[in-house]
Amino acid sequence: MSASLQHRFGDRHPDSLAQITERIRRDGLVLLDGLAARAAVLTTARSLMTLTHHPDSDPDGLTVIRDTGRHTDRPGFAGLGSGEVLPHTERSAAAMPPRLMLLACSRPADAGGVSTLVDGAAVLADLATEHPDAFTALSAPRSAFFGGANGCLSSIFSPVAPGRMQLRLRLDTLARFSPDAGAHLPVLRAAIDRHRQSFRLGTGQAFLLDNHRWLHARSAFTGSRRLYRALGEPLTSWVWPPGFPHPDTSRDQSHPDENGELTLRGLHDRTSAGPT
Ligand SMILES: [Fe+2]
C-alpha cells in the first residue's frame, strides 16, 4: 500500500471518529493507520464497536491472525495458516455474521500476504445488470449453506430491509449450494474478480469494513505475518440501516463514485481530505 493511502486517525479526535463512521455508513470501508500495537487496535476497536468474541480470540476480544502451524488444511481455519484465503464473509456460518471487522497489520509477511477486498455492492450491481439470471439464482432463499453441523442455511444475496441487501459468502469446502446457485458460481467468481482490489498492508495499516457488504481475502505468504482482528457490532451511537442499497432502488441516491463502485484510490481521496 502506498503511503498516500494513510488515514490520519491517530489521536481518535471526535471529528475523525465522525468521519470514520460516516464513511462506513456510506462506503462500507475505511482505511486506517497507526495501528501496529495491540493496545492501539483495542482502543480503536472499542471506540467503534461492541466486540464479539470469537472461538479463536483472546480474553480482550482480539484475535491474532498468524500462521499457528496447527491449522494447516483444517477446514474453516485457513486464516490461521499461511495459504491462500478465498474471498469470504467473516463468520459466514453464524446466524448473523458480525457487522464490523477491523484488521490491523502488526507485522507484514516477508513475501505475499496481499489483502484483497471486494465491494459486494459493486458485485451485486454487476450481476443484476449483466447477469440477472445469476443474480436471481444466487438470491434464492435457502440456496446456500455455510459452515458445518451448526451452519447457516441462507443465500449469497439476501434482502434484509426494503431496498437493501446483505452479502454472505465463502468458497471453501464448508460452502454448499443448490444446483441452480452452484451452476452460476463461475459467473459470481468472475464478477468478484472484476471488482477485487488488492494491496499489501504495511506495519500499522488497517481496514475497517462492513462485513455484510465487503468480502476479504488474502494471498499465501512466507514469514511471520501478524495481524490483529476485531469483530463486533457498531456502538449504538452510530448504527445504520442493515445491508446496502440494492441498485434497483438506489438510482435516485447520490453515490461518491460516478460508476457506482468505490475504489481504494477514491476512498483515500475522501479520507485524507477531512479534518483529523
Ligand atoms: Fe476472514
Q: What is the 3-state secondary structure (H, E, C) of the chain?
A: CCHHHCCCCCCCCHHHHHHHHHHHHHHCEEEECCCCCHHHHHHHHHHHEEECCCCCCCCCCCEEECCCCCCCCCCCCHHHCCCCEEEECCCCCCCCCCCEEEEEEEECCCEECCEEEEEHHHHHHHHHHHCHHHHHHHHCCCCEEECCCCCEEECCEEEEECCEEEECCCCCCCEEECHHHHHCHHHHHHHHHHHEEEECCCCCCEEEEECCCEEEEECCEECCCEEEEEEEEECHHHCCCCCEECHHHCCCCCCCCCCCCCCHHHHHHHHCCCCC
| Dihedral, 130, 241, 143, 197 alpha carbons, nearest 10 | 50
Question: So what's the pLDDT on residue 114?
Answer: 96
Question: So what's the pLDDT on residue 275?
Answer: 27
Cα–ligand 1 centroid distance for 206 (angstroms): 14
Cα–ligand 1 centroid distance for 252 (angstroms): 33
Q: Check residue 164 and give left, alpha or beta (phi > 0: left; psi -120 to 50: alpha).
A: beta
Cα–ligand 1 centroid distance for 216 (angstroms): 6
Question: So what's the pLDDT on residue 1?
Answer: 37
| Dihedral, 196, 115, 89, 149 alpha carbons, nearest 10 | 130
Cα–ligand 1 centroid distance for 34 (angstroms): 21
Gyration radius of the chain over CA positions: 18
pLDDT along the chain (276 residues), means of 10: 38 65 92 93 96 91 89 75 94 96 97 96 96 97 94 96 96 95 98 95 95 97 96 92 78 39 44 29
- Cell (9 digits) for 7: 488515514
Cα–ligand 1 centroid distance for 170 (angstroms): 10
Cα–ligand 1 centroid distance for 115 (angstroms): 11
Q: Residue 50 phi/psi, 5° resolution?
A: -90, 115
Cα–ligand 1 centroid distance for 229 (angstroms): 9
pTM (2 d.p.): 0.85
Q: CB within 8 A of 54, min separation 6: which ones?
A: 63, 91, 231
Cα–ligand 1 centroid distance for 45 (angstroms): 17
Cα–ligand 1 centroid distance for 160 (angstroms): 22
Question: So what's the pLDDT on residue 258?
Answer: 36
Spell out the domains of the chain, with CATH numbers in brackets: 19-250 (3.60.130.10)
Are the beta carbons of 268 and 32 closer than 8 angstroms? no
Cα–ligand 1 centroid distance for 80 (angstroms): 10
